Amino acid sequence: MSLPYLTATLPGIGGSIKNRPEDFFVQELPLYQPTGDGEHIYCEIQKIGLTTFDTIDRLARALHVHPKDIGYAGLKDARAITRQLFSILGSSEQAVASLQLPNLSVLWTARHGNKLRQGHLAANRFAIKIRDVNPTDVVKLQPYIDILKTTGLPNYFGEQRFGRRGDNHLLGAALIRGDDPAVLSLLLGSPNSSLDDAQTQGARKAFDRNDLEHAMRLFPRRSGMERRVLARLIKTGNPSIAVRTVDENLRRLWVSALQSDLFNEIVAHRINSLNRLSDGDLAMKHENGACFLVESAATEQPRCDSFEISPTGPLVGYRMTLPQGEALGIEQEVMAAHNLKPEDFRVEGRHKVKGARRPLRIQPKDIELSGGVDEFGQHITVAFTLPPGSFATVLLRELMKSPAGE
């Protein structure tokens, strides 16, 4: 992430994260407790080295239910120990509680009347070990924490939002613009020596020189999506038909990544004023997510100082509410730099994204710091709580100021 730091005047402690799954722990804190009655089985599951969707697939197979009958509140990294909430329709508490699956254990079960939906979280609690550091450097971190508590943490989207190749937002932009050849170029071409093995590089190079048959022969079997899209392109010669071969959920993910990239740029523009309102801002109440137009920044600033409210940025869409004044100017400048406008996010038959507002900053809570040594070496452990949709790696990059923390 080539984004400015809030704590740019502080040097950072360096180090690395995610050396082992056990070094990165996250637990979902529920928005509400199950009632004990209803047809959905709520459960908390601890998993190691599994994505949320891997877990859903394993649960569905083991319990003989459809994956769509399993609800979840949030997405969690695979390279971690995570405690995550799920709801399951069509099973029993006993069946769920007695599951014994590799790298997955059921901590508790209870019944509830409705399916768990994305966003039904109060917060996420993290405990993360930073390796390759001097444990005594933990004493240097208090000034960082003081800034993050008072000013707030930049509410950037983390790098995982942009995919393994870091180009999900570029794919989203090409989709929004209706530039199907550009989508295919990113998806099937554009070799990267640091990400692709030699065979995949060869396939991508062949696509870039329009040798589609040779590219098909070279793409490995594990590149199933790329092979399906390329096969449709070879058969039809029509880039639009080929792009529609991509799963709709993945295309939505690309557009979401574009929204995230635009939001990050706006946060970066306002990095030195995250805790200050301007006339015309759209401010969000942290308590309930409601937004309102700031007519007098001087009047509302005390509420911002107490972290009751914060200025917002756009998750761009065709029905997104726009601010006024200086805030609107920044958002329009960023959109114009990408040759995009909100109405581009509504194209019949391709995509319709309403849009939303997101606070420019969030307040980390219950921060705990400790240094130590275990069987794998020295470390500093940072524990903290963040609201749903915010990224732990964004906090860590402020402390570390190193590529491993980004």
| Residue extents of the structural domains in the chain | 32-118, 168-248, 272-362
* Predicted local confidence at residue 369, as pLDDT: 97
* Predicted local confidence at residue 1, as pLDDT: 52
Q: Where do we find the tokens 């891997």?
A: 54
Look at residues 189, 205, 151, 186 and name the one whose alpha carbon lies nearest to residue 257.
Answer: 186
Three-state DSSP state, 131: strand
Domain 272-362 has CATH 3.30.2350.20: yes
Distance CA 218, CA 316 (A): 38
| Active-site position among 23, 77, 261, 281 | 77
Q: Residue 18, exposed/middle/buried by CB under 10 A (0-12, 13-18, 19+)?
A: middle
* Predicted local confidence at residue 170, as pLDDT: 96
244 Cβ contact list (under 8 Å, min separation 6): none
The reply to whether domains 32-118 and 168-248 share a CATH topology is: no
Token readout for 38 is: 């209803």
Is 305 an active-site residue? Answer: no
Token readout for 22 is: 């056990």
Which amino acid is it at 325? G
CA distances from 68 to 34, 90, 363 (A): 20, 11, 34
Distance CA 247, CA 235 (A): 18
**CATH number for the segment(s) 32-118:** 3.30.2350.20
Distance CA 331, CA 352 (A): 20
Which amino acid is it at 202? G
**CATH number for the segment(s) 168-248:** 1.10.1510.30
49 Cβ contact list (under 8 Å, min separation 6): 21, 78, 79, 103
Look at residues 199, 222, 198, 203 and name the one whose alpha carbon lies nearest to residue 213.
Answer: 203
25 Cβ contact list (under 8 Å, min separation 6): 80, 81, 82, 126, 127, 128
Question: Phi and psi dihedrals of 47, rounded to 5?
Answer: -135, 155
* Predicted local confidence at residue 406, as pLDDT: 46
Question: What is the H or E stretch that residue 368 is in?
Answer: strand 365-374
Q: What is the mean pLDDT of each successive set of 10 residues along the chain, which is 406 residues long?
A: 90 93 95 95 95 93 96 90 96 96 96 94 96 96 95 95 92 94 96 92 96 96 95 97 92 94 98 97 96 98 98 95 96 95 84 93 97 96 96 96 61
Distance CA 387, CA 194 (A): 34
